[in-house]
Structures are given as structure tokens and as C-alpha cells.
Amino acid sequence: MATLEQTLEEILNLAAGYFKVPRAELSPDDDFFTKLGINSLQALELLTRLEGHFHIELPDYELQGVSDFRTLAERIQSRL
Amino acid sequence: MRSFAGEAVSWNLSGSVVELTLHRAPLNEIGTATLAELEHFAAALAAVSAEASALLISSSLPGGFSAGADLRELFTRSEQASPQERMSGVRDFLERIHRVMTAIDCSPLTTIAAVHGVCFGGGFELALACDLMIADKTARFCFPELRLGLIPGFGGIPRLKRDVGNAVVRDLLLTGRSMNAAKAQAAGLVSQVAAEGAALRVARATAAQIAKFDRATSAAAKRFLKPIPEAELQRERELFCELFARPLVQEALRKFVQSASALPYLP
């Protein structure tokens, strides 16, 4: 199973690629709404892509209050 | 009327297929303007049905199929009304939208919802009125009404119960979580999953297949397979009104409308 750091790295790569932000500009503790410049609809798009990428289901209520990549990775890690 | 171009919806009969397109920004919220045009469509549906085999419903907006009822309009109208006017207004709206949904549900045409992105609340209920749901990989289905102290009110629960197991209904309704296209297909809700942006193309191909069949036979098969759950639909309207009458609903609507949260679409 992937480690938390590996999962985090995959999330950062996926987010950078999908939202066309240079990967080097993203850090684990960044607020992804601010850093990616996304709204709630785009957050749902990100959720859909993460579910597809990791082959998991992540109920959206688990994202309540989550805004940084590291916590997001922890939520995903708990579903792997 | 073979075609119509409105503020919220448009439709066009081409060959044997009627295409109804939703296009009211920001995300096809269903309020009085959309309802009036959907009623216009429902009235025209009987006439176009004589010439067509299939009805496709889709959205031309990038965000998705529909975010559901227009909660901002609902809140604003409720704020301005007396409690009696508020309840009679909601009851009237529900009865009108139910007539539209039932007209689509029991149309002799084979009806297909081509879904992408957000398909929430009343939008999900519109898709559930269709015979087939074709979703692209971005589609997400959700009944977020419980966070407002409500249940779905456009006929969603009886129609969802008709199509899938009760455990799936409870999961969606009682958690308010959204479900992606793959999960919805596994649950039996979505018949085909298309690539991103390809749901309408796949729906058109399906409509072309449907057009090969004798229309009367397709209509007879549909009547046999898909009864309208009239009693449950009526009970749903009554329960919705009972719940809507409580002050906590108005407060929840106020909170939603005034929220500056970045996550209004997340339950």
C-alpha cells in the first residue's frame, strides 16, 4: 500500500496537472482552494478525479473543513 | 411546436428525436422561470410524441446537468410572504413541477437523461423521471435536502425507490453524500457511463437505436415496466410541506443563501 507521502505526492501531481498549476508551486500545507483558484464546483471535479485515480469512494462530507493537501491525503489514505 | 428557445430551456424535434436542453445559468437551478418553460414543454410533448421515438434531456452548461431547486428564489419569496402564502406557494410549485415530471415519466417516448457534472436535488429528480440515464465520468448525483431540514420534493424518492434498492436510497438520502458515475452505474441507476463530455453523443446513439423499433411497442413496454408511483408521490408532497412549515427550514435556507462558504455544493 502507498505511504501517506506517496499519496500526497500523487494528489499534488494530479491537482497540478488538472488545474494547470506548476507542480513546483504546490506544497502539502497549501490551501488548495486558494492555491488552485477553485470554487466548490471545481472541488467536486477534483473529488471525482481523486476517486477515479485512487479507485476509492470519498464521501464529500469528509471534505468538510478540509482545505489543505496534507489533510486531503490523510482522508484518502484512510480509504486505500 | 417542433422547437422552442426559452431563457431556461430549449427544445427541438429533429428526425425522430426531441432534444430538451437546459441552459439557465449558473447551473440550471429550477425556479419559477424554468418551471414555466418546462410546463410549456410538457404541453407540447403530446404533440411532438406523435412524430418522435425518443426524448433526450441534457444541459449545455459546463458545470453540470442541474444543481436542483432555485433555493435563492425559494428563500426570497418565502421571506416576503405570510406563513399561509408561503405554504400555498410551495404547495402550488410542487404540484406544478410534479405534473411536469409525471408528463416526462409517462411519455410514450423513450426518455434519456444525458448527465454530466452536478446532478443534485431537483436536477437528479428530473433525471430520475427519464427511462435511461447516461452519465459521463464527471457526473455526481446527490440529494442534499436533509441539510435544509427537507426531503426531495420533486418526486425523487418514489422514483429512486422504483429504480434501485432501498439501501441505496437510504445511503443517498440519509447521508446527503454525492455519488460518482461509476458508483451510480454499479447501483443500477446509470445505464451507461461515457467519457468526459461524451454523454450526449452516447445518448444520441442510443436514441438512434431506439428509433429502429415500432413506437407503439416501445410505449407499451414502457407502460408495462414503469408504473407511476402516484400514492407515494402525493405522500412525498405532503411530507415536504409538513417539513417546510417548520421555522428551521427558513433558517437553513437563509444560512445557505447568505453563506460565503467555498463549498455550497458540498453537503
Give tens-digit pLDDT for B127-144.
999 999 999 999 999 999
Per-residue pLDDT band for A37 (boundaries 50, 70, 90) equals confident
Residue B8's pLDDT is: 97
* Cα–Cα–Cα angle for A24, A25, A31, rounded to 5 degrees: 135
Average pLDDT, chain B: 94
Share of chain A above pLDDT 90, in %: 70
Stated pTM of the model = 0.94
Q: What is the pLDDT of residues B70-103, one digit of tens each?
A: 999 999 998 888 889 999 999 999 999 999 999 9
CB contact B25 to A (< 8 Å): no
- Least CB–CB distance from A57: residue in B64, B183, B262: B183
Three-class secondary structure assignment of B157-213: HHHHHHHCCHHHHHHHHHHCCCEEHHHHHHCCCCCEEECCCCHHHHHHHHHHHHCCC
State in Å, rounded, how far the first CA of chain B is from the last one.
40
**pLDDT value of position B1:** 75
* Strand B192-194 with B140-142, pairing: unpaired
Provide the b/e sequence for B1-30 (b: ≥16 CB within 10 Å).
Answer: eeeeebebbbbebeebbbbbbbebeebbbb
Residue pointed to by grid coordinates 429502429: B212
Complex ipTM: 0.88
Pair type for strands B110-115 and B192-194: unpaired
**pLDDT over 70 (residue B265):** no
Q: Which of B140, B177, B266 sits opposite A48 (nearest CB)?
A: B140
Query: Across the interface, do A64 and B266 touch by the CB < 8 Å criterion?
Result: yes
- Which residues in chain A have Cβ-Cβ distances shorter than 8 Å to B177? 59-61
What is the pLDDT, as a whole number, of residue B103? 97
* pLDDT at residue B264, as a whole number: 52
Average pLDDT, chain A: 91
Would you call B97 exposed, middle or buried from its count of C-beta atoms within 10 A (0-12, 13-18, 19+)? buried
Lowest-confidence pick of A32-36, B31-35, B65-69, B221-225: A32-36
Burial pattern B51-73, b for ≥16 Cβ within 10 A else e, equals ebbbbbbbbebebbbbbbbbbeb
The predicted structure's pLDDT at residue B260:
63
Is residue B267 within 8 angstroms of chain A, CB to CB? yes
pLDDT at A15 > cutoff 80: yes
- The Cα-based distances of B265 to A20, B42, B76, B126, B260 in angstroms read 23, 29, 19, 18, 12
